[in-house]
Structure 1
Amino acid sequence: MSDAKQKNYLVGFIITFVGSVLFSTKAIIIKKAFADLAIPALSLLTLRMLFSTPFYVGAAFFNNNKKDNIALTRKEWILISVTGILGYYISSLLDFVGLQYVSAGMERLILFLYPTFVVLINAAWFKQKINRQQQLALLITYVGIGLAFFGELHFDNSTPNFLWGCFLIFLCAVTYSCYLVSSGQLIPKIGASKFTTYAMLTATAGIFTHFLITSSFSSIVWSKELLQYVILLAIAATVIPSFMLSYGIKKIGSNNSAVVTSIGPVSTIIQAHIFLGEPIVATQIIGTILVLTGIFVISWQKNTPGLPSE
Structure 2
Amino acid sequence: MKDNFLGGFLVFLGACSFGVLSSIVKTAYKAGYTLGEVTGIQCFLGMLMLWSIHFIVKAVHKPKVSASTNTPLATSTTQSPESTKKWKVCAVGLFPGLVGICYYQCVQLVPASIAIILLMQYLWISIIIDFVIFKNKPTIIQLATVIVIILGSSLAAGMFNQDITLNLTGCLFGFLAALMYSLFISTSSNIGNELPKLEKSALMITGACFVTFLIFPPLFFFKLDINDKLYQLGFLLALLGTVLPPFLFSIGIPKIGISLSAILSAAELPVAVTCSFFYLHEAVYFTQWIGVVIILLAIALPNLKHIKKTA
Deviation at 1:209, TM superposition (A): 4.6
282-291 or 147-156, larger mean C-alpha shift: 147-156
Tell me the distance in 2 between the aligned counterparts of 1:73 and 1:148. 44
Indicate how the Cα distance of structure 1 residues 178 and 164 shifts in structure 2: closer, same or farther if over 3 A, else same: same
Match of 1:217 among 216, 221, 230: 221
SS across alignment from 2:189: helix
TM-score, length-scaled by structure 1: 0.78
Superposed displacement of residue 177, structure 1:
0.7
| The one of 106, 110, 114 aligned to 2:118 | 110
Structure 1 partner of 2:67: none
Partner of 2:280: 276
- Structure 1, 283-292 or 135-144: larger mean CA deviation: 135-144
Query: Which of 4, 10, 13 lines up with 1:18 in the alignment?
Result: 13
Aligned counterpart, 2:197? 192
Residue 95 in structure 1 maps to residue 103 in structure 2: yes
Asked if 1 retains the 8 angstrom alpha-carbon contact of 2:110 and 2:170, the reply is: yes
Name the counterpart of 1:38.
32
Counterpart of 1:76, as a letter, is K
Counterpart pick for 1:150 among 158, 177, 184: 158
Distance 1:121 1:145 in 2: 20
Which amino acid is the alignment partner of residue 51 of structure 1?
Answer: L
- Is residue 2:66 matched to residue 1:52? no
Aligned to 1:83: 92
Q: CA RMSD in A?
A: 3.5
Instruction: Name the CA shift for 1:186/1:259 in 2 (closer, same or farther; >3 Å).
Output: farther
Give the CA deviation at 1:278: 0.8
Report the alpha carbon displacement of residue 140 of structure 1 after superposing the two structures with TM: 4.0
Query: How has the CA–CA distance of structure 1 residues 130 and 69 changed in structure 2, closer, same or farther, with 3 Å as cutoff?
Result: farther
Task: Please state if 1:238 is matched with 2:242.
Answer: yes
Displacement of 1:131 after TM fit? 4.7
> d(CA) in 1 for partners of 2:116 and 2:86?
31
| Cα distance change of structure 1 residues 145 and 206 upon mapping to structure 2, 3 Å threshold | same
Q: Cα 1:156–1:97, aligned 2, differ >3 Å: closer, same or farther?
A: same
Matched residue of 2:109: which SS?
coil
Shift in CA distance, 155/38, structure 1 to aligned 2, threshold 3 Å: farther
Alpha-carbon distance in 1 for matches of 2:253, 2:188: 8
Q: How does 1:107-186 map to 2 (within 5 A)?
A: 107-128=115-136, 130-131=138-139, 134-135=142-143, 137-150=145-158, 154-157=162-165, 162-186=167-191
Q: Distance in 1 between matches of 2:242 and 2:159?
A: 29
Pick the structure with more helix per residue. Answer: 1
Aligned AA for 2:19?
Answer: S
Cα distance in 2, alignment partners of residues 134 and 246 from structure 1: 25
Cα distance between partner residues in 2 of 1:215 and 1:156? 37
**Match for residue 307 of structure 1?**
none
State the alpha-carbon separation in 1 of the partners of residues 116 and 260 from structure 2: 18
State the distance in 1 between where 2:267 and 2:119 align.
Answer: 12
Which residue number corresponds to residue 298 of structure 2? Answer: 294
Structure 1 letter corresponding to 2:201: T
| Inter-partner Cα distance in structure 1 for 2:88 and 2:264 | 25
Q: Which moved more, 1:270-279 or 1:199-208?
A: 199-208
**Amino acid in the other structure paired with 1:28:** S
Instruction: Say if 1:59 and 1:200 are closer, same or farther in 2 by CA, change over 3 A.
Output: same
User: In the TM superposition, what is the alpha-carbon distance from 1:14 to its structure 2 partner?
Assistant: 4.9
CA gap 1:301/1:11 in 2 versus in 1, 3 angstroms: farther
Separation in 2, partners of 1:226, 1:23: 19
Structure 2 distance, partners of 1:69, 1:208, is 38
Report the CA distance between 1:268 and its aligned residue: 1.0
